[in-house]
Amino acid sequence: MALLSFQNVSKTYNNVTKALQDVTFSIEEGEFVSIIGPSGAGKSTLLRCINRLVDASQGEIFFDGQNVTSSKKKELREIRTKTAMIFQHYNLVDRLSVVENVLHGRLGQKSTLNGAAGHYTEEEKQEAFRIIQEMGLEEQAYKRCDELSGGQKQRVGIARAIMQHPKLILCDEPIASLDPKSSKVIMDHLKSINQTKNITCLVNLHQVDVAMKYSERIIGVTAGKIVYDGPTSGLTKEIIHEIYQSSDHDLIMDVQG
Amino acid sequence: MQTTMDIFKKRKLTYTLVFLAFIAIFAGASVVAEFNPVDGISSFPAAIQWIAANLIPDAGAMERFPKILSELLETALLSVAVTVVAAVLAFFFSLLGSNITKINGLLKRAVRIVAAFFRNVPDVVWAMLLMFSFGQNILTGFFALFFTTFGLLTRAFIETIDEVSSNCVEALDATGANFIQKVFQGIIPSSLPGITTWVLYMIETNIRSSTLIGILTATGIGYLFDLYYKRLDFASASLVVLSIVVLVLVIETVSNKIRKVIL
Amino acid sequence: MINETVAVATRPLSGEKSSAAVNLERFVNRSRNGKIKIGARNKSQLAVKLLVLVLLSITVVAFVTFDYQGIDFGQAVTDTLHNIKTVFLEPELSRDTVGGVLYQLLVTFCLGTLSTLIGAVLAFFCSLLCARNIAHPVCVNIVKSVVAVARAVPTVLWVLIFAVSAGLGSVAAVAGLTFHSFAYLTKAYAESIEEMDHGVIEALKANGASYWQIVCQAILPSTITSMVAWTFMRFEINFANAVAMGAAAGAGGIGFNLFMAGSFYFDLHEMGLLTYIVVIAVVILEMISTKIKAKVK
């Protein structure tokens, strides 16, 4: 059985804007899948339907054998602990330390009181430090997050995600606010998490070339509909133009050849 | 070249029109309020003369200094107590009224309307209303200040929370954190600078407001000023003003120091 | 640049090696009982805790030392609730006419307008003298101190000080309200000017522009939006203050009607209606000023 499956999912905002229309696909455990498409195509909505930061209007989503769309509070919390998320704007609590932000990954599994008071076990703290080291941030561990650079912040975001022990990591434009060098670092980290820890990754990307370089499978979304779903090798120029609804020479990659 | 000239001409015309409009508003308002600008201007030197004449307290005023100090201390304690109690309540209410943490839309609306009501009913109304039931009691001033402070802080906190914490709350949501955890791990840390700034500002404001309410309800430092003022004991009255100024300046300086460390 | 990328990519991601663990321990802070600390190494956390502690203890001290004069609290609260009901649920006009009250509202409005206008003009010139990026440091310090003292005096005391020479009435009210808005706006305007991009002034100076040319062509255009926003905010405050001055210092306007209804005739019904009129006026002002601020931005 697939780890994640969308069955005819649609999302309409305010009964007018159609963000997703009849989306159906499934993802197997261990895959690294990129979702590409123009801005406003519904990529973010698609990702947020999986952990119910956005509620789908129609259709059903199954994750790890559980029905996401019909899940109640407690079940939803469990699903959210199994799906971590990485954001374009990092979404860290800027005034807390790097360690504290990483430990936030445990909140879903902790009791209300311990979580609220920030009481974590020594094992959890040790693990947080190990992950911080993997991300190469050990020297920044006690710094406040507002002192970090964009690339460092996103590494904290990844560390927080790993701290959750997720089965699936959802990445919403993880490198859209970063310079090329930091982007590469972040994508390398995601790739290696996918390979060494066997965590499934679903990544929204703006850059087609990055998507083609890092993922085996690509889903192309335009105007809320899936227009391509297949291996990276099958992604031809024509399909890319269809996804971005552009003609020849409109895209930067055309110029690059 | 022609167009740039036009722009300059246009700007000059706008400035002239705005200037004339201000003059017209000023004249109209002066007529309605029966304000005579000449009297207004001439009152300035007179006021400065008054200040200069009474700035240095005489022996009689110094005799009253201990009494003034004790009232001043009470005013300071009152301002802090009012602000702290109002801030704690306002924080809970602002969680219900914020777009990020609201429980439902209806409750959010209700909270915002209640806050607007308390904010906009003048504190003098509260003071007079409470005079009937609490009399010349410190609690009259306490509650009069409390209602307005509560309304103001609720709105301020709602704005702070909405502005500062939407991103990090989304992330905590995604980790599966529950409401209480989101509040303590996300909202409080990220909105703390804003909240502190507002609380410190309100303490300072409340010292000034409590003077006004004191005059109206015959309590505290405001009453003391009114008493000396009506007895024409201007030296003592000016000592009261002086001590309020010192208190406010001290609080302002301390607040600025604290804000610098916290931000 | 290349080196760092490679280093990150080849870092052992399992992180289980003992040498790595020893290495990591260097970066871990532990408390005396060996527990790992997680808070940021920062003064701010401590300062916040201290501040909360101090404020809470002051509050406790305040409640303990207040002289309650043995008031019957339960009775007072019951009476208050009853009065609140009378004021807000049974508003009624008995002494004044609707037209008369609305005229007094207009008077209050005009008091607020006058004091904001005069205060704003004075504050603009004064702020030129105390903005750090355009004025002499000595001048800045002197003006800022004077303004800080003027701001520390409560508005009502300014009104009463002016009333010594001008007598109670609109002149004292406008002068008093003006003084405080002037002090407030000077600080706000000066901060707006200080936030300005320094390059603009420098460029004009390099062109050989005169002082007033710089003021009119650089400072005014680039700070006008925030100044307008501050001025409208002050106008809202001045309107509320004008109501209060009418009540507490007999300065005229609807505040005086409120005072007469509340403290002279003890007519809670009339007080209620007057309050509603003030509240509606304030809410309308707030809406207008929000619109204008949004437009200016």
Condensed to tens digits (0 to 9), the pLDDT of residues A155-197 reads 999 999 999 999 999 999 999 999 999 999 999 999 999 999 9
Question: Is the separation of the CB atoms in C75 and B132 below 8 Å?
Answer: no
Question: Is the separation of the CB atoms in B149 and B173 below 8 Å?
Answer: no
How far does C22 lie from chain A, in Å, by closest CA? Answer: 11
Interatomic CA distance for residues A213 and C202, integer angstroms:
49
Question: Is the separation of the CB atoms in A42 and A125 below 8 Å?
Answer: no
Number of Cβ pairs < 8 A linking chain A and chain B: 90
Interatomic CA distance for residues C5 and C123, integer angstroms:
55
pLDDT at A247: 66
pTM here is 0.87
User: Nearest residue on chain B to A172, judged by CA atoms?
Assistant: B171
Determine the CATH number of domain C98-296. 1.10.3720.10
How far does B103 lie from chain C, in Å, by closest CA? Answer: 26
Put simply, the chain B residues between 144 and 173 with a CB less than 8 A from any chain A CB are 167-168, 170-173
* Torsional class of A178: left (φ above 0), alpha (ψ -120 to 50), beta (otherwise): beta
Please name the residues in contact with B229: beta carbons below 8 A apart, sequence gap of 6 or more: B237, C160
Strand order in the sheet with A66-67: A17-27, A4-13, A58-63, A66-67
Does the CB of C206 have a partner CB in chain A at under 8 Å?
no
pLDDT at C288: 87
Query: Residue C10: pLDDT above 90?
Result: no
- What is the average pLDDT across A207-235? 92
Using alpha carbons only, how large is chain A's radius of gyration in Å? Answer: 18
How far does B190 lie from chain A, in Å, by closest CA? Answer: 6
Query: Residue C3: pLDDT above 80?
Result: no
pLDDT category of residue C1 using cuts at 50, 70 and 90: very low
> b vs e for C112-134, b when ≥16 Cβ sit within 10 Å of the residue's Cβ?
bbbbbbbbbebbbebbbbbbeeb
How far does C184 lie from chain B, in Å, by closest CA? Answer: 12
pLDDT category of residue C8 using cuts at 50, 70 and 90: very low
Query: Residue B93: pLDDT above 60?
Result: yes
Does the CB of A103 have a partner CB in chain C at under 8 Å?
yes
How far does A67 lie from chain C, in Å, by closest CA? Answer: 33
- What is the average pLDDT across C243-257? 86
Condensed to tens digits (0 to 9), the pLDDT of residues C167-199 reads 888 888 999 999 899 999 999 999 999 988 888
Question: Could you give the ipTM of this predicted complex?
Answer: 0.87
Interchain CB distance below 8 Å, C152 and B133: no
pLDDT at C234: 92
Domains of chain A: 4-256 (3.40.50.300)
SS (H, E, C) C137-186: HHHHHHHHHHHHHHHHCCHHHHHHHHHHHHCCCHHHHHHHHHHHHHHHHH
How far does C114 lie from chain A, in Å, by closest CA? Answer: 44
pLDDT at B4: 63
CA A205 to chain centroid, in Å, comes to: 10
Neighbours of C185 (CB within 10 A): 25
Put simply, the chain B residues between 185 and 214 with a CB less than 8 A from any chain A CB are 185-186, 189-190, 192-193
pLDDT at A185: 94
Averaged confidence pLDDT in chain C: 85
Q: Compute CA distances C265 → B91, B137, C144, C258, C262, whole Å.
A: 38, 21, 45, 10, 6
Choose between B50 and B150: higher pLDDT.
Answer: B150
User: Nearest residue on chain A to C18, judged by CA atoms?
Assistant: A130
- What is the average pLDDT across A220-239? 90
Rounded to the nearest 5 degrees, what angle is found at the Cα of B111, between the Cα atoms of B108 and B115?
140
Query: Residue B131: pLDDT above 50?
Result: yes
Please name the residues in contact with C164: beta carbons below 8 A apart, sequence gap of 6 or more: B46, B47, B50, B234
pLDDT at A250: 65
| CB-side neighbour CA atoms (13 Å) of C238 | 33
pLDDT at B159: 92
pLDDT category of residue C2 using cuts at 50, 70 and 90: very low
| Burial degree of A77 (CB within 10 A; 0-12, 13-18, 19+) | middle
- What is the average pLDDT across B31-60? 84
Interchain CB distance below 8 Å, A107 and B183: no
pLDDT category of residue A257 using cuts at 50, 70 and 90: very low
Question: Is the separation of the CB atoms in C289 and C235 below 8 Å?
Answer: yes
Question: Is the separation of the CB atoms in C100 and C260 below 8 Å?
Answer: no
* Domain range list for chain B: 2-54, 59-262
Mutate which of B101, B163, B175, B263 to disrupt the A interface (most A C-beta within 10 Å)? Answer: B175
- Where would I find the H helices in chain B? 2-33, 37-54, 59-63, 65-97, 105-120, 123-134, 138-164, 166-175, 179-182, 188-217, 220-230, 234-262
* Domain range list for chain C: 98-296
Question: Is the separation of the CB atoms in B211 and A140 below 8 Å?
Answer: no
User: Nearest residue on chain B to A162, judged by CA atoms?
Assistant: B175
Query: Residue A14: pLDDT above 90?
Result: no
Mutate which of A91, A111, A177 to disrupt the B interface (most B C-beta within 10 Å)? Answer: A91
Number of Cβ pairs < 8 A linking chain B and chain C: 219
Chain B residues whose CB is inside 8 A of the A110 CB are 181
| CB-side neighbour CA atoms (13 Å) of C228 | 16
Interchain CB distance below 8 Å, A120 and C40: no
Least confident of B112-126, B144-158, C91-105: C91-105
Does the CB of B70 have a partner CB in chain C at under 8 Å?
no
Interatomic CA distance for residues A135 and A17, integer angstroms:
39
- What is the average pLDDT across B214-242? 90
Does the CB of B260 have a partner CB in chain C at under 8 Å?
no
Superfamily of the domain at B59-262: MetI-like (1.10.3720.10)
Interchain CB distance below 8 Å, C14 and A100: no
- What is the average pLDDT across C32-53? 84
Chain A residues whose CB is inside 8 A of the C29 CB are 142
Mutate which of B68, B82, B125 to disrupt the C interface (most C C-beta within 10 Å)? Answer: B125
How large is the greatest C-alpha to C-alpha distance in chain C, in angstroms? 89
Interchain CB distance below 8 Å, A104 and B177: yes
pLDDT at C90: 87
pLDDT category of residue A62 using cuts at 50, 70 and 90: very high
Please name the residues in contact with A183: beta carbons below 8 A apart, sequence gap of 6 or more: A175, A210
Averaged confidence pLDDT in chain A: 91
Looking at the partner chain, which of A99, A185, A188 has a beta carbon nearest the beta carbon of C38?
Answer: A99
Least confident of B172-186, C75-89, C208-222: C208-222
Interatomic CA distance for residues C248 and C258, integer angstroms:
10
pLDDT at B82: 97
Mutate which of B160, B181, B188, B263 to disrupt the A interface (most A C-beta within 10 Å)? Answer: B181
pLDDT at B48: 85
Condensed to tens digits (0 to 9), the pLDDT of residues C82-103 reads 989 988 898 888 878 888 899 9
Mutate which of C38, C42, C43, C44 to disrupt the B interface (most B C-beta within 10 Å)? Answer: C44
Query: Residue C39: pLDDT above 90?
Result: no
Query: Chain A residues with CB-CB distance to B under 8 A?
Result: 51, 53, 76-81, 83-85, 87, 89-96, 100, 104-110, 112-113, 115-118, 157, 160, 164, 170
How far does A185 lie from chain C, in Å, by closest CA? Answer: 6
pLDDT category of residue C4 using cuts at 50, 70 and 90: very low
Averaged confidence pLDDT in chain B: 90
What are the backbone angles phi and psi of residue C6, rounded to the nearest 5°?
-65, -45
Does the CB of B77 have a partner CB in chain C at under 8 Å?
yes
Please name the residues in contact with A172: beta carbons below 8 A apart, sequence gap of 6 or more: A43, A44, A47, A48, A85, A86, A87, A88, A204
Interchain CB distance below 8 Å, A78 and B168: no
- What is the average pLDDT across A198-227? 92
Does the CB of C155 have a partner CB in chain B at under 8 Å?
yes
Condensed to tens digits (0 to 9), the pLDDT of residues C54-93 reads 999 999 999 999 888 888 888 999 999 998 998 889 888 8
Cα–Cα nearest to C24, from A162, A152, A132 = A132
pLDDT at B52: 86
User: Nearest residue on chain C to A195, judged by CA atoms?
Assistant: C13
Least confident of A11-20, A182-191, B201-210, C246-255: C246-255
Query: Residue A255: pLDDT above 60?
Result: no
**Chain A contact partners (≥3 CB pairs within 8 A):** B, C
pLDDT at A251: 65
Query: Residue B163: pLDDT above 90?
Result: no
Does the CB of B189 have a partner CB in chain C at under 8 Å?
no
Q: Compute CA distances B207 → B119, B145, B247, whole Å.
A: 17, 10, 9
Looking at the partner chain, which of B30, B132, B207 has a beta carbon nearest the beta carbon of C79?
Answer: B132
Chain A residues whose CB is inside 8 A of the B168 CB are 91-94
Can you tell me whether residue C251 is helix, strand or coil? coil
pLDDT at C139: 93
User: Nearest residue on chain C to B22, judged by CA atoms?
Assistant: C117
| CB-side neighbour CA atoms (13 Å) of A140 | 23
Interatomic CA distance for residues C32 and C40, integer angstroms:
17
pLDDT at C11: 47
Does the CB of C9 have a partner CB in chain A at under 8 Å?
yes
